[in-house]
Homo-oligomer: A and B are copies of this chain.
Amino acid sequence: MIEQRVLDAVSAERLHDLLDNLARFGPGERGGMNRQALSEEDFQARAWLIDKARQLGCQVWTDGCANLFIRREGREDLPPVMTGSHIDTQPTGGRLDGCYGVMAGMECLYSLEEAGIRTLRPIEVVVWTNEEGSRFSPGAMGSSAYVEPARLEAYRSHRDAAGISLGEALDLHSRRFADLPLRARIDAHAFVELHIEQGPVLEQAGIPLGVVVGIQGVRWYQVVCSGASAHAGTTPMSMRRDAMLLAIETVQRIDALANLIAGDEKRLTFGRWNVSPNVINTIANEATFSIDFRHADPAVLAAFDDGIAACLPADAQLQRLFSHASTEFCPAVVAVLEQACDATGLQRLSIRSGAFHDAMYLAGHCPTGMLFVPSRDGISHNPLEFTEPAQLEAGTRALAWALVSLAEQP
């Protein structure tokens, strides 16, 4: 089987060389990365990558959102199999989040060359712009605008912390890479994204490969609890309206709701807090907190939306910040990814992603799936982000198998 020949051609040395080379652009704190989308560091990384791609005989395009498409032609001009991820990082990010998926895709192209195999369908490695959302909000802009090009016009006015708009940054990219041809959205046969898990599940299970069945839906809310600021010494408890105590009670009711509707599957986080006036000897007159609730089942997400208002006391206001439906990946792609993992001879786990990925948007465009490798201690968005080299290699081998298998589908 040619899938196995390409899998066997994957070189751990070449993969780590690619990752090391990419990490030269935008070194960050404590050995981590800081490569913001469309920054000079990003441009340098792109220039290096385009050069590599052309050396491999690939054609390279960009589009209106600066997504990068590196195409290895197939035997026929059919809709391609796409793979890839992103190369922008968090301000104190690691070397693997996003980058791993792109470099593993490149390594698959090298392996195809080395194995002397030309697939039926073209294979494209894609770099999606601004997945992290740390420079321009929201994240996954590139894949979102690719799937729904009408979104780009609004995105162009979004500004970074320095006041530079996405439009200005994209125009800079156009001038910098004036030789890159533009290409509009094309039909794709499939999209596969390889990524680090960014969570502890694979590591704790002791399993090196995860086949992702979907991405949890998410609800972001903000709750503002109002009280009355008063002196901590002079105000008897019965005469208080302590906004922070109100917030704590509200958190507990929301937690009970989530337990009721989601049980052990609950993922509920109260991550952001703001207490006012935030003084030791003054009762809080306002306490604001965020809710991040995720679940795979649209019915559970809807039940959360329906139930949350009843958790709030009279002196609280609810604001819906963001919501995204859950994503189910294509069963046929998932099946290929399972076979690909089996072809490595290693164990695989069926897993659901709690984090967003570009694959979330691509799933609305073409048959899509994802592969995960473990994250040590579940850590990402951090210089300590780490995956065992052997696991990075195993993920790339599975990816190679899957890409070839999909690219041979008529």
> Is residue A181 within 8 Å, beta carbon to beta carbon, of the partner chain?
no
Q: Mark A193-206, 1 if CB is under 8 A from B, else 0.
A: 00001111100100
Judge if A248 is at the interface, Cβ distance under 8 Å: yes
Do residues A233 and B216 form an inter-chain contact, with CB atoms below 8 A? yes
Q: A198-B231, A231-B198, A269-B232 are in contact. Are A264 and B279 (CB under 8 A)?
A: no
Nearest B residue to A92 by beta-carbon distance?
A: B277
In the bound complex, CA of A147 to CA of B220 (Å): 56
Q: Which of A195-234 contact B (CB under 8 A)?
A: 197-201, 204, 216, 218, 220, 229-234
Give bound CA distance, A292 to B284, whole Å. Answer: 12
Partner of A281, one of B242, B248, B271, B353: B271
Is A275's beta carbon under 8 Å from chain B?
A: yes
Cross-chain contact B379 with A294 (CB below 8 angstroms): no
Q: Are B378 and A239 in contact (CB under 8 A)?
A: yes
Q: Is the CB of A280 within 8 A of B321?
A: yes
**Range for the number of chain A residues in contact with chain B:** 35 or more
Q: Which B residues touch A355, using CB under 8 A? A: 231, 233-234
A233 and B251 contacting across the interface, CB-CB below 8 Å = no
| Cα(A378)–Cα(B283), bound, Å | 12
Q: Give 1 or 0 for each of A45-78: 1 = CB within 8 Å of chain B CB.
A: 0000000000000000000000000000000000
Task: Given A233-B218, A355-B231, A378-B231, check contact A272 B279 (CB 8 Å).
Answer: yes
Q: How far is the CB of A10 from chain B (nearest CB, A)?
A: 26
Does A190 sit at the interface, judged by CB under 8 A? no
Complex: how many Å from CA A216 to CA B382?
A: 47
Name A278's contact: one of B220, B229, B238, B271 (CB within 8 Å).
B271
Which of B229, B290, B380 is the one whose CB lies under 8 Å from A280?
B290
In A222-263, the 8 Å CB interface with B consists of 229-239, 242, 244-245, 248, 251-252
Interface status of A282 (Cβ within 8 A of chain B)? yes
B272 lies within 8 A of A234 (CB): no
Q: In the complex, are the beta carbons of B273 and A244 less than 8 A apart?
A: yes
- Is the C-beta of A268 less than 8 angstroms from some C-beta in chain B? yes
Q: Does A267 contact B (CB under 8 A)?
A: yes
A266 within 8 A of B: yes
Q: A230-B379, A271-B282, A281-B269 are in contact. Are A199 and B235 (CB under 8 A)?
A: yes
A216 to B198, CA, bound (A): 51
Shortest Cβ gap from A239 to chain B (Å): 5
Are A199 and B237 closer than 8 Å at their CB atoms? no
> Are the CB atoms of A267 and B354 closer together than 8 Å?
no
